[in-house]
Structure 1
């Protein structure tokens, strides 16, 4: 092992020496936050630190969200607040999702302006009618924990950076006697007219503002507190109150609250702060958030950024990123691959986000204040996406954080009136978005892989409770019939299959803890997928409560009932916990391979695309939909047949097609890091097909070499021999000097450290 590490280190040194004329780049310098900001990636380009509570980023349009909008409407387009092709910026807000397919957040929008005061954003076609500004990508820079852009209409240079709980703004103004900072508390990414519940602002003195915002968006009850400090005393300030149609309606109280009044409250508030500025004068703003109180926000600011040194905060945040990226050091075939890899790590380490003040206090699901004792509390759990690869990745390179995330889930369970683990939760709210009870997968994966620094007995009970939530999403019917009948609950096949997998996860926990009766019960439930398999068609098919299969049936139709984010062809391959049985259902290995092959090679007519924008085939190869997570394990299923080399070929094809160092470089929503975690695993050469197992299926590594620096102090090294863009097939795999004659590696083999060597070839090993 030491010899292999020395060889890899020597390669790194040799590479640096051989290119002595080039500047050696830090890993964080390969991060390109612009990747995924165009089309469907839904990432944001702004500043944040690893797992930070603040995501300070530009908004490029206002979103008129309507509850009856179609999936491809404006709300979907602006899930991250920024679209690369938009010509204007409306301001910079402090909270964002990364890569989601649903919108919320976008809190506390700030926009610097000069000239006549305007408090409405205007339109992209006529930015001069509002406070928005044109900008150009040529004057835009996005790096790890740093964003910079020139607001052309005002000749203002905007710069953003962050600490975990504080956003730091720096605005360079021209000489002006009418410089403004617009503070729009109406703006938000989930922007239908009932969004704002209440806002409150208090001017503490001429440099400090505090307050809070309550919203009713995707999260039904969300309160965020803030403290905002200016580097320069405010000369004058004012407030406007608007109705739900953005029409100024004034105040009803006895005071003139529109100018220099220290305390205002209302449903829809906008404020402005005026200054005189000299040429290139910089006005800085520190904006701290808290889930608890304005006092907590101010304490966060004082703890994290007690100074006014913007560059110091930027550099400290970039060093935080370097520390995280150093956990996986890679050698790649080219610089583009390294950009893709470290940007994928960046996106994977944005969410979940820290959700507590520096003193450990946070608002819980029960809307009461709690203190996280002995763990860091997290939020933003997009579990239908992230159970597949993101949390398994954390069990290797972020085990302490993943354990804390599970403790956060157990705290959620304690605070839940339903006694349920989170499904899709953020900011002390449960959205119940998507299907399954996949927190049990995250918990099972941690327990089985030996990363269970939490109460495992309690965790098992929480998993069992979530699996028996009878009034939730067809579970009652699932327990009664052994499947979810389509006439009782929609997306019935998808739910049956995902419940069956989650039940298998519970069985693995029970087995680990010596609970034989629970193990037997949930193993039986885990075979429920068999109840929706139609042997006559060879597909998983919607079934009715009378036992009959639903007709008509077209396995390619994404409009058809029974499925969510996929069709029967995709979901008929979703039995990750029992591939051998799935192969037998499909008539054996040879027939199963033909099924897999056709998934990648068929051509779908346009009529099968559910959304008009999807006709562009974003994230789609044949009928394989990489942009939708139920397909993420599929290419690895060839390992259970006699043709594992096809896994190797498909993986390299997907890596090349779906990940590029460009604004449109993600073939679908990044989904809070899941797409990026798939990339990380697959470039390293293995993937967790069934989280809850200790095995990772081999694929085809695209790196030349890698070192995983593990938290236990050990190093796991990956080397490749004869690596090239054409040599995509694995000829031989050697672990610590011993050839492997199997198609997987285990968690313990990775965590014990050592060397995994792949010998690559241009010809498949048949």
Structure 2
């Protein structure tokens, strides 16, 4: 009855005009090749479980040095690989670093092997070859044939439970392997400890504690089989397992407790031809008891197809929040795949009763909101969270509540920088929780204590011991010889400070406004008028003598160079343009950025710089450039914005395994695509304006949470007609190059009239 009511609710929630099967257009395989770093497996919107295949086991270090090959496996899967080593339950989507890959399960038959083997000799272990011809990847569903053992593997999921279904041949030697050692980015000593408890002949519980990107991460599980196993055991070569008085037992076989850093367990079955063995594995950040509650609440039965239908119904509901019309199937695939990727992260991080593990490692309860984790904020503040403020405002507000809880639990009294699974890993720069909070407050989506939120922003921004802030506060710049990536940090701090100033002004806190509006002008201190670029300064106040505007490393920048970062003043583009010589000179800089050709030497320094995401010297694969194409709107040449964004859409996105021109970065690349395809983009989150571009669909209807609809109606749109001739808002000519957040939230129609030639003047 519960599932029937859920299905009925989801069906009624989808607007009548949008009954088209949206699921068919989502291609989870997109971005799984090269640098997209997405995964193809089963998850639900913002789900805690991401159940997906792993295609290799790459050591983080080789001969004591970083192994660059691991970078390909941030999501555990690479499309060109020929073998699958198993299916694990936690993954990042589109990141440039990784962790996770918890609780890997692999079905096998024949002689029991408790090592993964190698990609070139899969028969030497429990891995199996596979073919993309038998692979199916859909929202909330994944299927593949494990060819070496003739096993059909199928996966689906609820929020907190992964559901496996394995169809076996007839055999007396069927095995399910539970690998507690396997993980993505296999650091030496990553496993602190693992534990398995065999509760009965169908139920297993346990936990895994790791020391990886997250310093101390604990994940609990409860795992149940659809039929009893006949025997079980573990590998018997774990050198680091303390045995002591436990030597009195034979722990290798049919012993109900397994503990150590290197545990691989097995469970044996007898199977008839075509028999399905099903497994449900629930996660919890709190306890095995919490995992059991999650399992019993979310998937109490064994109907795999029903769970798949429920998961896909959830995706259908979310995807229909924007219904597009287009004569191009590829465009629909691009758009709905982007929405799919945008709605994966951040992820739920609490049990069904609201309990979660906090940053202080204590157990907390989220009262009245969903607690989230996986905050890749250096990426996602730019477009993903602004997108949520439009079509996922309640979720975005809950994400901010989660950030504020993080702040309260932080020993450093700081908002999250890059946080996941009750850990802060301090990755990347800036303090961009501030941007996310400010954007929500300024756009009226702040059902929380806004003054308390502002205090958290201010305390974070005044933290003198954090990443060069002492120099930034005292001098207005950061010396490159004291703290690296100094120019990037100054520019991003200045933007975040502007966000704080806007909130302070709105709340009438003038002292904070004056402090931070002054700090927001610090970008001027790293501009060198002699070269026309932002440039690193040294401790003595002079500009760094050896300077290469095309170089990234050792030049004061991170994931970008002076050409890109010199355009990063989103909160004051008019003053930036004046500072850089005026509109004519600035336009020439933009033109050159897109048309110049980078010499090969600039692609060899790091995996961050690849030709995958680059057009000229415009680096779409790295986020500091994401607003750049829209800056022509400030130079009096908006037709160049229209031309550039349509070109980027075509070059950087297509519905195939290599269809993303860079890491998707927890949905940021996809959010850029969504906004840009709709015809507007948030150049400066924290402001209420969206800069106009060139819509790439015929029509879009946004179903807003306030019950209203906002329609983008595009006349005469085509691959040739990329230039905007005129724009109307609710039938009235729009004589500006932006719309406001209120324009969207009030509902109505934004009409673009397109043509093949630029409309100048």
Equivalent of 2:232, from 227, 230, 237? 237
Measured in 1, the distance between the counterparts of 2:78 and 2:548 equals 35
Equivalent of 2:195, from 200, 215, 236? 200
- Within a 5 Å distance, the mapping from 1:89-168 to structure 2 comes to 89-168=84-163
Q: TM-score, normalised by structure 2?
A: 0.96
Equivalent of 2:682, from 688, 710, 728? 688
Q: CA deviation at 1:253?
A: 2.4
- Within a 5 Å distance, the mapping from 1:609-620 to structure 2 comes to 609-611=603-605, 617-620=611-614
Alignment partner of 1:434 is 2:425: no
Gaps of 5+ in 2: 1-15
In the other structure, the counterpart of 1:42 is 37
Contact 1:559 1:608 in 2 (8 A): no
Alignment partner of 1:762 is 2:761: no
Measured in 2, the distance between the counterparts of 1:30 and 1:69 equals 45
Measured in 1, the distance between the counterparts of 2:247 and 2:28 equals 46
Structure 1 window deviating more from structure 2 (290-299 vs 248-257): it is 248-257
Measured in 1, the distance between the counterparts of 2:591 and 2:626 equals 15
Deviations 1:156-214 (A, max 9, x none): 00000000000000000001110000110000002122100001110000000000000
Distance 1:554 1:581, change over 3 A: same
Q: CA deviation at 1:469?
A: 1.1
Contact 1:29 1:144 in 2 (8 A): no
Measured in 2, the distance between the counterparts of 1:656 and 1:513 equals 43
- Within a 5 Å distance, the mapping from 1:228-307 to structure 2 comes to 228-243=223-238, 253-307=247-301
Measured in 2, the distance between the counterparts of 1:616 and 1:401 equals 34
Q: CA deviation at 1:375?
A: 0.7
SS of alignment partner, residue 423 of structure 2: coil
Measured in 1, the distance between the counterparts of 2:591 and 2:463 equals 38
In the other structure, the counterpart of 1:471 is 465
Structure 1 window deviating more from structure 2 (157-166 vs 68-77): it is 68-77
Distance 1:403 1:657, change over 3 A: same
In the other structure, the counterpart of 1:4 is none
Taking only aligned residues, the RMSD between alpha carbons, in angstroms, comes to 1.7
Equivalent of 1:179, from 174, 179, 193? 174
Measured in 2, the distance between the counterparts of 1:251 and 1:217 equals 31
Alignment partner of 1:560 is 2:536: no
Measured in 2, the distance between the counterparts of 1:377 and 1:753 equals 30
Contact 1:481 1:545 in 2 (8 A): no
SS of alignment partner, residue 234 of structure 2: strand
Q: CA deviation at 1:560?
A: 3.3
Distance 1:585 1:125, change over 3 A: same
Measured in 2, the distance between the counterparts of 1:112 and 1:421 equals 42
In the other structure, the counterpart of 1:373 is 367
Equivalent of 1:527, from 516, 521, 524? 521
In the other structure, the counterpart of 2:8 is none
Distance 1:82 1:597, change over 3 A: same
Measured in 2, the distance between the counterparts of 1:420 and 1:632 equals 27
Q: CA deviation at 1:561?
A: 2.7
In the other structure, the counterpart of 1:21 is none
Measured in 2, the distance between the counterparts of 1:272 and 1:131 equals 11
In the other structure, the counterpart of 1:8 is none
Distance 1:619 1:220, change over 3 A: same
Q: CA deviation at 1:66?
A: 2.1
Deviations 1:295-354 (A, max 9, x none): 000000000000000000000000000000110000123000100100000000000000
Alignment partner of 1:546 is 2:540: yes
In the other structure, the counterpart of 2:7 is none
Measured in 2, the distance between the counterparts of 1:685 and 1:471 equals 42
In the other structure, the counterpart of 1:308 is 302
In the other structure, the counterpart of 1:383 is 377
- Within a 5 Å distance, the mapping from 1:23-34 to structure 2 comes to 25-34=20-29
SS of alignment partner, residue 430 of structure 2: coil
Q: CA deviation at 1:487?
A: 1.2
Measured in 1, the distance between the counterparts of 2:238 and 2:696 equals 55
Contact 2:548 2:555 in 1 (8 A): no
- Within a 5 Å distance, the mapping from 1:596-675 to structure 2 comes to 596-611=590-605, 617-675=611-669
Deviations 1:256-291 (A, max 9, x none): 011100111111101000001010100000000000
Contact 1:510 1:518 in 2 (8 A): yes
SS of alignment partner, residue 272 of structure 1: strand
Deviations 1:517-538 (A, max 9, x none): 2111111000000000000000
Measured in 2, the distance between the counterparts of 1:594 and 1:261 equals 72
Deviations 1:371-394 (A, max 9, x none): 000110000000000000000000
Contact 1:241 1:268 in 2 (8 A): no
Q: CA deviation at 1:244?
A: 7.9
Q: CA deviation at 1:249?
A: 11
Contact 1:72 1:612 in 2 (8 A): no
Measured in 2, the distance between the counterparts of 1:613 and 1:215 equals 26
Measured in 1, the distance between the counterparts of 2:245 and 2:184 equals 26
Measured in 2, the distance between the counterparts of 1:528 and 1:109 equals 48
Alignment partner of 1:575 is 2:587: no
Q: CA deviation at 1:239?
A: 1.1
Measured in 2, the distance between the counterparts of 1:418 and 1:560 equals 29
Q: CA deviation at 1:610?
A: 4.3
Measured in 2, the distance between the counterparts of 1:363 and 1:649 equals 48
- Within a 5 Å distance, the mapping from 1:336-351 to structure 2 comes to 336-351=330-345
Alignment partner of 1:326 is 2:332: no
Contact 1:75 1:103 in 2 (8 A): no
Gaps of 5+ in 1: 1-11, 17-23
Alignment partner of 1:425 is 2:456: no
Alignment partner of 1:444 is 2:438: yes
Measured in 1, the distance between the counterparts of 2:375 and 2:330 equals 30
SS of alignment partner, residue 467 of structure 2: coil
SS of alignment partner, residue 57 of structure 2: coil
In the other structure, the counterpart of 2:12 is none
In the other structure, the counterpart of 1:20 is none
SS of alignment partner, residue 85 of structure 1: coil
Q: CA deviation at 1:488?
A: 1.1
Q: CA deviation at 1:240?
A: 1.9
Alignment partner of 1:407 is 2:401: yes
- Within a 5 Å distance, the mapping from 1:477-516 to structure 2 comes to 477-516=471-510
Distance 1:30 1:244, change over 3 A: farther
SS of alignment partner, residue 453 of structure 2: helix
In the other structure, the counterpart of 1:362 is 356
Measured in 1, the distance between the counterparts of 2:218 and 2:75 equals 20
- Within a 5 Å distance, the mapping from 1:68-83 to structure 2 comes to 73-83=68-78
Measured in 2, the distance between the counterparts of 1:249 and 1:344 equals 51
Q: CA deviation at 1:252?
A: 6.0
Contact 2:559 2:609 in 1 (8 A): no
Contact 2:158 2:307 in 1 (8 A): yes
Q: CA deviation at 1:69?
A: 8.4
Q: CA deviation at 1:558?
A: 2.2
In the other structure, the counterpart of 1:169 is 164
Contact 1:241 1:248 in 2 (8 A): no
Equivalent of 1:317, from 306, 311, 314? 311
Distance 1:572 1:44, change over 3 A: same
SS of alignment partner, residue 164 of structure 2: strand
SS of alignment partner, residue 253 of structure 1: helix
Distance 1:238 1:598, change over 3 A: same
Alignment coverage as a number of residue pairs: 745
Measured in 2, the distance between the counterparts of 1:71 and 1:699 equals 42
Measured in 2, the distance between the counterparts of 1:126 and 1:612 equals 30
Distance 1:242 1:729, change over 3 A: farther
Contact 1:538 1:586 in 2 (8 A): yes
